Amino acid sequence: MAQRLLHYRLLRFGIGLLAWVLLAASCFAPPARADVPHPKRKDQYKHQVEKLEEAWRVAQLNDDVAAMDKLLSDDYVGITMSGQVVTKKQQLDRMRNRTTVLTKIELDDVRVKLIGTTAIVLSLAHVDGTMEGTPMHGDYRYTRVYSRLPSGAWQITNFEATRVGMPPPPADGRHPQPSNSKPE
């Protein structure tokens, strides 16, 4: 009986010790996700990306090819307002050749979401300009993706713009016919 009591006390002591060790380990354990930036750093990253959004806007308005070259990653892929898929080289050529000339870009509802070393920017852009000589005016929702390099610098890797609402009717007042309708 004495042996059984000793065994019971040792078992209780062992379980208590194990519980204490597990509790202490959970209190002093590192966070489960080490890749999540510190809150202050996260705010700093968002601020950096917001400043880059303004640098992009200014470079686009001024046809600043050198600034845009620094902003875009070498593997950049964009989908333009007209639905064209362009690489970095093609985007820079469009700026050099002034294929699309933007005279106004006003941004609203800018949201920056951070996921590790990636920043996703959603915004509403009010745009005026010309595309291949044709006047262009409208509102576009866009998504721009930035990647943070090991050096700490950010570069744009992807872009897509989508028109919000219908474009205004042409200046001559004619309304385009849908492609599936037949004229009478």
pTM to 2 decimals? 0.69
Q: Which domains does the chain have, with CATH numbers?
A: 39-164 (3.10.450.50)
A 10 A CB-CB count for 97 gives 9
d(CA 111, CA 121): 6
Q: What is the pLDDT of residues 62-108, one digit of tens each?
A: 999 999 999 999 999 999 888 899 999 999 999 999 888 999 999 99
Position of tokens 């090819």? 65
Confidence tier at 122 by pLDDT (50, 70, 90): very high
SS3 of 144, please?
strand
In the chain, the DSSP E strands lie at 72-79, 85-87, 100-115, 118-131, 134-148, 154-164
Residue 143, judged by CB atoms within 10 A of its CB (0-12, 13-18, 19+), counts as middle
Residues 70-80 pLDDT 10s: 999 999 999 98
